């Protein structure tokens, strides 16, 4: 049974791989035997992320520059990833250009830019689909959504601490979950599965203790998620363990959306 989760011989491209959650997911894929192409908007940072990953037999992880808000960067980055490997089988759309403004003061331009993260996810997904179809292999696309693509915020939770979760972020993540469904049915017969992994509350160190305390009260498990708690889900979605699953949103949130 455990061989279903084995990613030996597979290659995954993961964007924003040096981030809080991206680094745990990249590590998990490497630990499952997967070769990785890790991306950052900064080429040197991408290289050092690749070097920090657990080694795999027979090949090396690689790091490339990729900005998913820039179509040329997506095209060039994906071509480079193919050139440096024997082919990409798995795509994890994880990177996110964040915006700290909520509904009160966000401009049209800022709102549109936040939504443009989804365009980048789409362009990369389409590139992966074309590439795997051309090679005649199966593909797995994993979008990183959010509990905030499923439910609204608790505005009072943020009161007197910081802006509430941005309206553009809720729209973005809801759109990513819906795009997952649409692309999954379009590409099911191409052997390309498309699923979404939606984390719940996983605040990084920069988030204030007071806010964490309030968030914990909103979570049935009474605590925040730790990045390693996404490792099982990402390997599951990337591997044959989820071979009959497509178009779904797997929510890992300590029960947040169950209430």
Interface ranges with ligand NAP (CB under 6 A)? 15-16, 18-22, 40-42, 45, 66-69, 94-97, 144, 146, 199, 201-204
Nearer to ligand NAP, 69 or 137 (CB): 69
| CB within 8 Å of 99: residues ≥ 6 apart | 106, 110, 113, 114, 166, 168, 169
Which CB atom, from 95 or from 139, has the smaller least distance to ligand NAP?
Answer: 95
- According to DSSP, residue 151 is labeled S
Q: Which is nearer to ligand NAP, 16 or 139 (CB)?
A: 16
Q: Which residue of the chain is nearest ligand NAP when measured via CB? A: 19
Q: How far is the CB of 132 from ligand NAP (least distance, A)?
A: 21
CB 97, CB 72: distance < 8 Å? no
The encoded tokens of residue 65 equal 């520059």
CB of 136 to ligand NAP, least distance (A): 29
Distance CA 174, CA 151 (A): 9
Nearer CB in complex with ligand NAP: 137/211: 211
CB of 42 to ligand NAP, least distance (A): 6
CA distance 250 to 143: 10
CB contact set of 55 (below 8 Å; sequence gap of 6+):
30, 61
Least separation in angstroms between CB 26 and ligand NAP? 11
In the complex, least distance from residue 166 CB atom to ligand NAP, rounded to whole angstroms: 11
Query: 43: helix, coil or strand?
Result: helix
Q: Residue 204 or 220: which CB sits closer to ligand NAP?
A: 204
Q: How many Cβ atoms from other residues are within 10 Å of residue 111's Cβ?
A: 18
């Amino acid at each position: 049974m455990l061989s279903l989760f084995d990613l030996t011989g597979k290659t995954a491209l993961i964007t924003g791989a040096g981030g809080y959650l991206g680094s745990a997911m990249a590590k998990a894929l490497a630990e499952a035997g997967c070769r990785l192409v890790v991306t950052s908007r900064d080429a040197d940072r991408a290289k050092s992320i690749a070097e920090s990953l657990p080694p795999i037999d027979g090949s090396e992880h690689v790091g490339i520059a990729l900005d998913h808000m820039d179509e040329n960067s997506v095209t060039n980055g994906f071509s480079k990833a193919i050139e440096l490997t024997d082919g990409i089988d798995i795509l994890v759309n994880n990177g996110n250009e964040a915006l700290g403004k909520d509904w009160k003061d966000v401009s049209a331009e800022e709102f549109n830019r936040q939504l443009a993260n989804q365009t980048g996810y789409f362009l990369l997904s389409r590139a992966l689909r074309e590439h795997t179809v051309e090679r005649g292999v199966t593909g797995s696309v994993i979008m990183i959504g959010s509990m905030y693509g499923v439910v609204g915020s608790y505005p009072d939770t943020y009161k007197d601490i910081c802006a509430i979760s941005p309206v553009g972020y809720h729209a973005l993540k809801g759109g990513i979950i819906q795009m997952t469904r649409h692309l999954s049915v379009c590409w099911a017969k191409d052997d390309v599965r498309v699923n979404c992994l939606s984390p719940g509350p996983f605040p990084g160190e920069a988030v204030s203790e007071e806010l964490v305390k309030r968030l914990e009260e909103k979570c049935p498990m009474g605590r925040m998620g730790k990045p390693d708690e996404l490792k099982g889900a990402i390997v599951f979605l990337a591997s044959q363990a989820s071979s009959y699953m497509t178009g779904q949103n797997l929510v890992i949130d300590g029960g947040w959306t169950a209430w």
